[in-house]
Structure 1
């Protein structure tokens, strides 16, 4: 043990001296190793800070109270799994009034209650440019029980009806400040602003009212904060459950909670595992060229150690000590920088997430893992140069010759075998939806490429005989000095692989999101629902005269090209108490044979193969049923001329137009009238009618039917929407101004502008491509610079024998082309293959754990990103040629 420690101590001292002698290379390697450590420290501290403790979560939900209770029914409920805990029969006697006094009578003596509404109901407010919807909460800030739920920034909390406090975001939106006033749209009330507040759990636009502003209803009940002397007990919860009170205690109580209904969360393929693992692996490959060049520079020094009795094990230890030292040098500043960035970035993250974090907490165990990760990364990056150095010929190294470099056949076979094993492992991971196996397969495949790269470089050296002088020398130099060239090429390959995989995956996500999106109208078009309040109660359609005036007002505000009134259906006889609809009946042959997610593996495979069991994208739309003879189809769909002509002809012949071909059987669809009233839904007998499927344009409706066909079904028609086709995308200010103007016509009228957001997604992909290109270019520049530093003597020799500066620049350009070009080609191949495996794994995981089965991520190649990746070697070559010094000092050979 003592001998082992002494040997390592000497090796570490040599490594420290080497790092101080070559500060630039050491700083670069330390920075590369420290980059993932910075990210890990930032993520760890941020996660720990935003991962609220149970007490912090409870304080935001219930302040200082012992529990928050909801009482809206007298029927007994059951929060615990013991079926005998509460009676299953409703209590006898009249319903209890649900108010403060009744609740206090059911609680132990000395208890306190505070009524509130923290649900965030929507409230329409007037803004300087129009109207906006804001969330409203009702909390008494003067009550000690609410302490911690709301942060008072300035002024005071509202103490009575007619007073409000605003969040800073709401104050900006409404153009108000403390001491000013705001106006509501509903009821047209003026409210005094008495303070600025902040809800730590929600930083959006919020208005705080005093609970006295609520209209209390003893039958409907509500929500209360409660404080109990001695705290909430299981027995008390069961007693309150008996009378219909749900209790959410501050501290988890003993007992077996009932299982909650399954939610939407799914345990999908752990993409984070794959991403983090690949980042660490790519950092190792990025650092490897620096260690390879360091080993090349220390060949003579290490050969002298061997000539004086140093064993191969000691030589390896000296090189590995470089990795340890540089790993620690990169980790310590990386950890400090990551913690600092977490502290500085916290306000921005809080704004982005829309919620405040908890107390600032450092994650010691995660930071320790970061330190170990950095040391391991340095060791792995130095491993191959260490093994190569320990096997070098001492005499050849002392004489300054490079020796004969050939790739051994067995290593080529090993590399090809690793590539095959990696492909097989990735394929198995997609079937098993196993992220660890997928990561192992991707890393193994890349390692196979790394092992084969020296042989590939040697082959390129042979092919370079037909090239001009400078590229021929660059090819020959790379072939002879494979120990430095191969890691540099592998480093570029690693970065290109990561960027290509990320780009393809994000592009697939974008394409799938677009498939899910169901726009109501073409981009930029506006719709206004033509509804108004009925003086006798309920709602009614806007009359023709009001609609005409509304049309003119819209044209004054928006850049309108054309408008049209789109009709919807109604009951045959106007009745405010009835609602009429028309449903499309899905044929049995188009229904999934499984009503719920199958658990049997055989049935799961059957469901995955059956497209009918995949998530339905075509049901539900904005317009629903449109009553038209085809006149307005061009405006609301933007379909092709041929498609519109056939759809119009079908409508005028008594057929209907649908957008989902699954409903059509032998040219017909089944439709069923539905009439809803206080007694419930009354579904009529389905009727078969001829149908035409509209396949082009925007499908913002389920069904288009003519007036005559609708009358045969016992239904009528009424104006539903005013659609405005615009010449450009309206601004947010124009939309708010329009909504404000609509108040002149109806309290219920509200405008919506179609914004799909496709441009934003496209811009995001382009930004990602440029960022990936910059990282790839930086990696290529680093690797090329290291290779150029190693070949500095060759450039000096060229200058000594009379080579012009242009020749020397062209040689640097060729060296960069070999490294960046070969690395990019390999990276594209591995990245596309890795993306294919990753997408297949995610699709498999979702098909096993999500029901109905969602759309598969498509394998769509982002050609813009790949084009930028292909241009990177060209940019690297031009940069190398421009930055190469014209005159180099003569070095000793």
Structure 2
């Protein structure tokens, strides 16, 4: 009851906190709505199925090329399909996919990343597709194609397959997309099976092999093209970072604002203690206020989330981090989670304030002792512990690899941001001894209360006499600047490191790729096989790892001096992880579902050009007829003249920049979005902190007015104090990014084999710091002016 009454009476003081929570809930809700909309939909070509039966999952996947399943061999898939089809009214179809790029007029059509455009005619039924003209193919060299190509039965169409560009005769046209060959030809091109489509009754778990899964309803969307899963992964990264930023900011802002509000109400809290309230009851009153503030913010935030969800998803689509959809559905589940999270975060922010309130004594009812002069010991100890935790994460970041390095850097930055916010009052109070000493300029020019150098002295006194109040302004600046500099620094450092490293590795070489297609066929690769050429043929192998089946990238090479058929060469980290040494026999599963045993011929230091797992190119082609060469690397002076038709030739630097272009587009968009959000949210949080501190500043302003200070002078002092507190937050925000960014640079140096320096764009710091400083000075001036009129 008391908490609700306080909220009604003090709603102006708590309004900014409510708005901060509302923005946090709105952003978090938008993230959850966008994540829900980004879930893989059921592929149109599989939409007529009642269920999809998929093989067992691997225990660990170390490659983005895999769907994370252990492929069935052709015979094994046929046996499963026969068992499922034995149920009356059920049809089970092994679905096979392989590269088949239509090239009308010699120009590739469709998605240039689509490696699954070809299928067997039996798969037509899985999407409910019909042959609307002509008939099914009956022999190799014939195909049914989509009506979107504008062809008629009898036409001849060049199609890029993994082995060659071959002409096929169009025997039929279907109302769905794709290229459909005879089922026998499809089985030759894709002998391994990863999906069996079921038409009719949904099979029971007892009808499928152990470890296999039966996917129904929306869960069928888990079977998606590899290129779509890569797009979704990029979007998931962006949403995860935005959610982390939102959560940390909401906690820090709520804690700072509520702590400031409590610090300015000691007389009221002392009165509660004087009438018999226990410290526990006072603590519960403050926690009740925090809960009500969170609930009010959650109510506003859910409405905001519904509006922001679509805008956020469109931003993902714009940077190729999500597939376009009609609209983002506003479902109650994500909004309820966001609202609950907002209340919990507000309650978490109120814990520190409740502990401060519980320390009120009855004497405070008659003697206003003002804000606490130093940070509480629990807050100081907690801040130091959290800082140590952030340091540990930074150390782990340096030794991590790939995406794990970035994830740990963000986690370390978030933890250190929280630590800096907790330690802000102690940092502000450090020069406390100087606050009581007037400056030399003030003594020399003493014609008025604020003459000469008195303003700096008053600012120092205000900061150090009320560090908790100053920290309410500094903490949001720590969050805004810390995240902005961390994210901008990560993006800029990686953008400088990766292309430079790739350029150095490929020095003296050119990169050749198939234009407009997911890869080049064997015929083109053979035409490029000049002396000194490196033409890797990638595939995915499933190895027996310590945790179980492990999917890894492997590279097929024609270099018999490195590896011969029946052998495998491993990098030292992979061999150590698998627990094998040179001479051991390593069972592997290829894409066709077969399980040959390869002898580990050598274990070598890591080499990006060789890959972590190298096998003979002939072995890859024998077991993975759908494998495509992504890029061929040739000596600069050995490119055939003219080069094969349809290829693009780039020098080392151009290739490195183009190879990083997709990641650069995403990371630049990520940085721009998050810097904008952190700066805007940080500015709002600074406004919130100043508004929350307005009540505790009234006695100070009254003293200045009694001493003869003009309204303009009072505004100047308040604005200067707010700016100084914000500047402390800016400095702390930059400082907490040093360890994570240095750790990332160290890890990149090890990964690339070249020195990597931390790169921080000055514009990022200026934007975040400028937004917070402008918000601090402007809001302080407005609040002080209003207080002077009241």
1:869: how far off?
2.2
1:390, 1:38 → 2: CA distance?
Answer: 32
2:386–2:418: 8 Å Cα contact kept in structure 1? yes
Name the CA distance, whole Å, in 2 between partners of 1:452 and 1:109: 70
Counterpart contact for 1:405–1:480, Cα < 8 Å: yes
Aligned to 1:460: 431
1:326 matched to 2:331: no
Provide the C-alpha distance between the structure 1 equivalents of 2:772 and 2:204, rounded to a whole number of angstroms: 70
Q: From the superposition, tell whether residues 339 and 859 of structure 1 become closer, same or farther in structure 2 (CA, over 3 Å).
A: farther
* Aligned residue in 2 for 1:145: 125
Q: Which residue of structure 2 aligns with residue 827 of structure 1?
A: 733
The answer as to whether partners of 1:496 and 1:831 remain within 8 angstroms in 2 is: no
Distance 1:76 1:190 in 2: 27
- Pair 820,120 (structure 1): closer, same or farther in 2 beyond 3 Å: same
Contact 2:375 2:468 in 1 (8 A): no
Q: CA deviation at 1:11?
A: 2.7
Relative to structure 1, the CA distance from residue 595 to residue 424 in structure 2 (aligned partners, 3 Å threshold; closer, same or farther) is closer
Q: Kindly indicate whether residue 21 of structure 2 is the aligned counterpart of residue 33 of structure 1.
A: yes
| Contact map agreement 1:48 1:362 (CA 8 A) in 2 | no
| Separation in structure 1 between the aligned mates of residue 761 and residue 708 of structure 2, nearest angstrom | 44
Q: 1:418 to 1:591 in 2, by over 3 A?
A: closer
| Partner of residue 814 from structure 1, selected from 720, 728, 743 | 720
Note if contact 2:134-2:173 (Cα within 8 Å) is conserved in structure 1.
no
Secondary structure of the residue that 1:310 maps to in structure 2? coil
Q: Note the 1:643-792 alignment, pairs <5 A.
A: 720-721=640-641, 748-752=645-649, 754=654, 756-757=657-658, 760=664, 764=669, 767=672, 770-771=675-676, 772-787=678-693, 790-791=696-697
CA, structure 1 residues 570+372, in 2 after alignment: closer, same or farther (shift >3 Å)? closer
Helix, strand or coil at the partner of 2:374 = coil
Counterpart in the other structure of 1:496: 481
How does 1:76-225 map onto structure 2 within 5 Å? 77-78=75-76, 119=98, 121-126=100-105, 132=109, 137=117, 145-147=125-127, 165=146, 207-208=177-178, 211=180, 220=188
Partner residue in 2 for 1:306: 273
2:577 match: 598
Structure 2 CA distance for aligned equivalents of residues 347 and 469 of structure 1: 53
Q: CA–CA distance in 2 between the matches of 1:601 and 1:63?
A: 46
Using the TM superposition, give the Cα deviation of residue 720 of structure 1 relative to its aligned residue in structure 2, in angstroms: 0.3
Q: Does 1:487 align with 2:475?
A: no
Whether the 8 Å CA contact 1:489–1:820 is kept in 2: the answer is yes
Secondary structure of the residue aligned to 1:353 is coil
SS of equivalent residue, structure 1 residue 720: coil
Higher helix share: 2
Structure 1: distance between partners of 2:422 and 2:268 = 27
Q: Deviations over 1:49-94 (max 9, x none)?
A: 5556xxx859853733777999xxxx984469xxxx99xxxxxxxx
Q: CA deviation at 1:472?
A: 2.0
Q: Is the 8 A contact 1:516 1:617 kept in 2?
A: no
| Matches of 2:245 and 2:54, distance apart in 1 | 48
How far apart, CA to CA, are the structure 1 residues paired with 2:127 and 2:374? 72
The residue that corresponds to 1:377 in the other structure is 345
1:354 corresponding residue in structure 2: 323
Residue matched to 1:864: 761
Deviations 1:768-813 (A, max 9, x none): 6852444444444443454456435645665676545653453244
Distance, in Å, in 2 between the alignment partners of 1:63 and 1:421 is 55
After superposition, the Cα gap between the structure-2 partners of 1:107 and 1:870, relative to the gap in structure 1 and judged at 3 Å, is closer
User: Which residue of structure 1 aligns with residue 594 of structure 2?
Assistant: none
Q: Secondary structure at the match of 2:577?
A: coil
Mapped partners of 2:203, 2:775: distance in 1: 71
Change (3 A) 1:767 1:299: same
Q: TM-score, normalised by structure 1?
A: 0.54
RMSD: 6.5
Q: Would the alpha carbon gap of residues 250 and 450 (structure 1) be closer, same or farther in structure 2, given more than 3 Å must change? A: closer
- Say if 1:509 and 1:857, in contact at 8 Å, map to a contact too: no
1:477 alignment partner in structure 2: 462
Residue among 402, 407, 414 paired with 2:381:
414
The CA distance in 2 between the partners of 1:765 and 1:273, in whole Å, is 11
From 18, 34, 43, the equivalent of 2:9 is 18
- TM-score, normalization by structure 2: 0.60
Per the alignment, in what secondary structure is the counterpart of residue 713 of structure 2? helix
Partner of 1:617: 608
What stretches of structure 2 of length at least 5 have no aligned partner? 56-72, 137-142, 160-164, 218-228, 442-452, 516-522, 534-556, 564-568, 583-602, 623-630
**1:475 Cα deviation after fit:** 2.0
Which structure is higher in RCO with an 8 Å CA cutoff and minimum separation 6?
2
Contact preservation (8 Å) 1:293, 1:484? yes
Is contact 2:686-2:776 (8 Å) kept?
no
- C-alpha distance 218-440 of structure 1, shift in aligned 2 (>3 A): closer
CA contact (8 A) 1:567 1:719 kept: no
CA pair 498-78 structure 1, distance change in 2 beyond 3 A: same
The alignment of Structure 1 onto Structure 2 pairs a total of residues equal to 639
Aligned to 2:608, what secondary structure does the other structure show? coil
The answer on whether the counterparts of 1:813 and 1:880 sit within 8 Å (CA) in structure 2 is yes
C-alpha distance after superposition, 1:519-568 (max 9, x if no partner): 99999x997999xxxxxxx89999xxxxxxxxxxxxxxxxxxxxxxx994
1:874-889 correspondence to structure 2 within 5 Å? 876-877=772-773, 881=777, 884=781, 888=785
2:284 and 2:354 in contact (8 A); partners too: yes
Partner Cα distance (2:764, 2:575) in 1:
46
The separation in 2 between residues aligned to 1:110 and 1:475, in whole angstroms, is 83
Contact 1:15 1:321 in 2 (8 A): no
1:582-610 Cα shifts (integer Å, max 9, x gaps): 88869xxx99567724356999xxxxxxx
Contact 2:412 2:740 in 1 (8 A): no
**Secondary structure of the structure 2 residue equivalent to 1:863:** coil
Deviation at 1:284, TM superposition (A): 1.7
Q: 2:261 — aligned with what?
A: 294
Q: Distance in 1 between matches of 2:506 and 2:581?
A: 42
Query: 1:778–1:569: structure 2 CA closer, same or farther, 3 Å change rule?
Result: same
| DSSP 3-state at the match of 2:640 | strand
Contact 2:260 2:472 in 1 (8 A): no
Counterpart for residue 356 of structure 2: 388
CA–CA distance in structure 2, aligned partners of residues 378 and 877 of structure 1: 25
| Contiguous gaps of at least 5 residues in structure 1 | 1-9, 87-102, 151-155, 171-175, 198-206, 239-246, 253-263, 531-537, 543-565, 572-579, 604-611, 621-673, 681-698, 706-717, 724-745, 845-852
